[in-house]
Amino acid sequence: IYASYAASIVDLLDIHASPSACSDHRLQILDAGTGHGSLAMHLARAIASANPAPPDLPVPEFHSPSSELLDASNFARQQTELLASWAKYRESRRAVIHTLDCVAANSVHAEKIVRGFRQGLYWPHIDFHTARVGTWTREQFETRGSFLSYASLDLPDVHEELAAVAQTLLPDAKLSVFAPSISQIAECQLRVQTNNLPIYLEKVIELGEGISTGRIWDLRYVTPRARGKAPTEAAEASDADEHADSGDQPVDAPGHPAEANGQNDKKVLICRPKVGLRTFGGGFVGLWRKGIRPSTASL
């Protein structure tokens, strides 16, 4: 994820981190797919104000991997006192970024980058893990229940991990998915609907060069209307489509004649940009929220 995309994702998540003295709740954020650590650092910048000031100590020396990636016991013996001081600080944090990568070498590389950026400015706020996101989230859920306030996924076959991540989200928590193809976001939404996951799609935006804040896409699975509608009905339906938000309920809600008659009950995909022309490159971000979609009447 490029830095400009990471900044857009953090803006979409709309993170509000309260100062440590104002809240007893620890804000916890999952970044699945560490990569080079770009998104992890942007997230850490957003939550750093919630934590007490880090100790005036050097960042512990990073044990350089050779044939073995990390020799934790040898590393601990070399810097016992320094590690103990940092461990005490980590326990006092009120906001934490958990960044995961299933490849240990990627996690090691990303931590080196974070440690080297402005003398480790954001390193104290990030915990690095080497694990598969599904395995890690299920293990955490067994011991802690739901605990994540935000989650961001940048993974291959990301739709396979949605169920495991969704159960660890707190009520009203936000989940973002970054993917290079709109069809991957569509696959995620299909998985959400098929498995009745407790999250709903708020918006889909396109990121790319020349798109300042992201272009909104309309992405929905709907039941087609019955053929042979009267012209006035078709015109009203077309007008409703044009003004429907990307998160609105499908046009044919339960009880529509087409559904009642058992006709055209197969879901189809609506996938198009809201405005403007096509652009090339970039990627797409889907934003889901934990909970029940609010009805349009209450908005």
pLDDT in tens, 190-236: 999 999 999 999 999 988 766 656 677 777 777 776 544 444 444 44
Q: What pLDDT does residue 254 have? A: 38
| Of residues 160, 172, 167, 179, the one with CA closest to residue 141 | 167
| CB neighbour class for 137 (10 Å; exposed up to 12, middle 13-18, buried from 19) | buried
Tokens representing residue 82 in the block: 């320094």
The answer to whether 201 and 189 are in contact (CB under 8 A) is yes
Instruction: Give 30's strand partners.
Output: 98, 151
CA angle, residues 206, 178, 279, in degrees to nearest 5: 25
Structure tokens at 73: 């016991």
Q: Which residues contact 112 (CB under 8 A, 6 or more apart)?
A: 62
Q: How many CB atoms lie within 10 A of CB 250?
A: 17
Residue 211 CA to residue 183 CA, distance in Å, equals 20
pLDDT computed for residue 215 by the predictor: 72
Q: Can you tell me the distance from the alpha carbon of 21 to that of 51, in angstroms, rounded to the nearest whole number?
A: 9
Q: How far apart are CA 58 and CA 40, in angstroms?
A: 21
Q: How far apart are CA 54 and CA 32, in angstroms?
A: 25
Instruction: Please report the pLDDT score of residue 252 as a whole number.
Output: 39
Distance CA 133, CA 157 (A): 12
Contact 3, 39 (CB under 8 A): no
| Residue where the block lists tokens 């509608």 | 229
- Residue 48 CA to residue 75 CA, distance in Å, equals 27
Neighbours of 238 (CB within 10 A): 9
- Compute the distance between CA of residue 36 and CA of residue 105 in angstroms, rounded to an integer: 11
3-class state of residue 151 by DSSP: strand
Q: What was the pLDDT predicted at 213?
A: 62
- C-alpha distances in Å from residue 195, one per residue of 177, 252, 254, 277: 17, 20, 18, 34
Encode pLDDT of 147-187 as tens digits.
999 999 999 889 999 999 999 999 999 999 999 888 899 99
Q: Which residues of the chain have pLDDT under 70?
A: 20-24, 62-79, 209-214, 225-266, 268-281, 295-299
If one counts every other C-beta atom within 10 angstroms of the C-beta of residue 287, the result is 22
209 in Cβ contact with 257 (< 8 Å) = no
Give me the pLDDT at residue 299, please: 39
